[in-house]
Amino acid sequence: MVRKFDAVILGAGAAGMMCAIRAGQRGRRVLLLDHAKAPGEKIRISGGGRCNFTNTGTSPANYISANAHFAKSALARYTPRDFIALVDKHGIAWHEKTLGQLFCNGSAKEIIGMLTAEMRAADVEMELQQEISSIEHTGAVFRVGTSTGPVQTPALVVATGGKSIPKMGATGLAYRIAEQFGLNLIETRPGLVPLTLDPQLLERLAPLSGVSVPAEVRHGKTAFREALLLTHRGMSGPTILQISSYWREGDDILLKIEPEHDLFQMLRSARRENGRQAPLTVLSELLPRRLAQYLLERSGVAAHVQLADCPDKVLQAVAASAQEWRVRPAGSEGYRTAEVTLGGVDTKELDSRTLAARKVPGLHFIGECVDVTGWLGGYNFQWAWASGHVCGDAL
C-alpha cells in the first residue's frame, strides 16, 4: 500500500524540521524522514553543545553563494527575531556571546526539544532510521521508496544537508537527487574547516601547539579578525575557520597577529624608554612567550640582543614577522571536520521565495544543500530556519 502525504521532507535536521513545522501548522499532512536514530544531530553538537542558534546581525553579506542576492528573500521573511521569539516562547534561556552570536545557556538539546514539540503540535509525522531507496516522478507525483514501503506526495522537500562530517550521517543525497532531476550543482568544498600545514612548517610550529592569539587573517580582499589557534595539525580557531571558506588550494593567507597593536611602534617606544630591554621581553608583554620567541627566530633576531642595538630596520622585520606573516596552507582537514559544505544546488535552479526547483514543480531544496553558506557565528542555522520556514509556507 502506498501512503499519501501533502508533503514529504527528507532530512530531520534544522531546515527539515522547521519546514515540517510550518507546513504542518498550515494544515498540511507532512511526513519527515531521516536515516538517523534521532533528529537534529548536528544541532545537538553545535556551538560546543550550546548551539549558536542565530546571529542578531544576520544580513545577506554574511553568506557565500554564486548569487549573492539569492538568500535575501528568505532571510527577510524569517529573521533572527522570529527565531528568538520561538526560543522565548519555549522558555529557553540564552545569552549573546560575541558579535551578535546567540547561544543556549543550557544545552543545544533544548533547541531540538523545542522543534520536536512544535512538530508534535503541528501533527507532523516523523519516521527515523529510514533509508531512501528511490525517488520516482510521474506526472505531478513523487514516489519515495523508504524502509517501510513507498510513500507518495505532490511536494518533495530535500533537506538532507551537505557532505560535512560523514560520521554524523552526512551522505550528499541532496546532490544526487538534484542530478537525477537534471539540476545544476555548484562545485562543493569543505568550509569552516581548520587548515593544515606542510610537514616542515608544522615541525617548526610544533612548540606553539595550543597557542591562541587575536589575529586578522586575510585572503585577497576578505579579512576576519577573531582568535587564531595553532594546533598539532596546523591552524584553527574562528579566524581560520572563517577564511577557510574563501581559501583555495595553492593560495596564501596573510596573518596579522594582534591587529589592534602596531608592533613596530611598540618596539620603538620601548627602545626609547629602556634600550637595555630585549625585544623578547617587550613582545612577551603582548604575546605568549613561545610565540614571541618563534617570531624573533623567524625574523633572524637573536633573543639576547638589546633594543638599543636594533635599528628601525630590525624592529620592522620583527614586527613584520608577526603582522605580515604570509602562510601557504597545505590543505584543509576536509569534510571530516568541516562545519559546512560550500557550493551545492545552484540557486539559479530555485525560486528564492519558495526554494522550489523551477524545472520540476513540487521539488524543493532547503538548508545546507543549497549553494548558500554562512560565516561562522549562527548564520548557518539562520539560513536553515529561514529557508525551511519560507518553503513550509509555500507547501
Tell the smallest beta-carbon distance from residue 48 to ligand FDA (Å): 8
Q: C-alpha dihedral over 239, 240, 246, 247, to 10 degrees?
A: 150
Binds ligand FDA (CB under 6 A): choice among 13, 279, 329, 392: 13
Q: Which residue has cell 533544548? A: 110
> Which strands, in side-by-side order, build the sheet including 331-332?
325-327, 253-257, 212-219, 222-230, 234-236, 195-196, 331-332
Which CB, 226 or 258, lies closer to ligand FDA?
A: 226
Q: Interface with ligand FDA by CB under 6 A: which range of 35-43, 214-222, 252-260, 300-308?
A: 35-43
Q: Site mask, ligand FDA, residues 89-128, x = CB under 6 A?
A: ----------------------------------------
From the list 339, 378, 369, 351, the residue with the least C-alpha distance to 77 is: 351
From the list 212, 267, 265, 266, the residue with the least C-alpha distance to 238 is: 212
Residue 146 contacts residue 131 (beta carbons within 8 Å): yes
From the list 385, 372, 370, the residue with the least C-alpha distance to 53 is: 385
Q: Does 367 bind ligand FDA (CB under 6 A)?
A: yes
Residue 21 contacts residue 118 (beta carbons within 8 Å): yes
Show contacts with ligand FDA in window 162-221 (CB under 6 A).
164-165, 169-171, 173
Q: Does 340 bind ligand FDA (CB under 6 A)?
A: yes
Tell the smallest beta-carbon distance from residue 132 to ligand FDA (Å): 5
Binds ligand FDA (CB under 6 A): choice among 22, 35, 364, 389: 35
Which CB, 110 or 339, lies closer to ligand FDA?
A: 339
Q: Does 343 bind ligand FDA (CB under 6 A)?
A: no
SS3 of residue 220 by DSSP? coil
Tell the smallest beta-carbon distance from residue 118 to ligand FDA (Å): 15
Q: Does 78 bind ligand FDA (CB under 6 A)?
A: no
Within 8 A by CB and 6+ apart from 215, the residues are 225, 226, 227, 228, 237, 239, 255, 256, 257, 258, 259
Q: Does 12 bind ligand FDA (CB under 6 A)?
A: yes
Q: Does 371 bind ligand FDA (CB under 6 A)?
A: no
Binding residues for ligand FDA (CB under 6 A): 10-16, 34-36, 41-42, 45-47, 51-52, 132, 159-161, 164-165, 169-171, 173, 339-340, 367-368, 378-381, 384
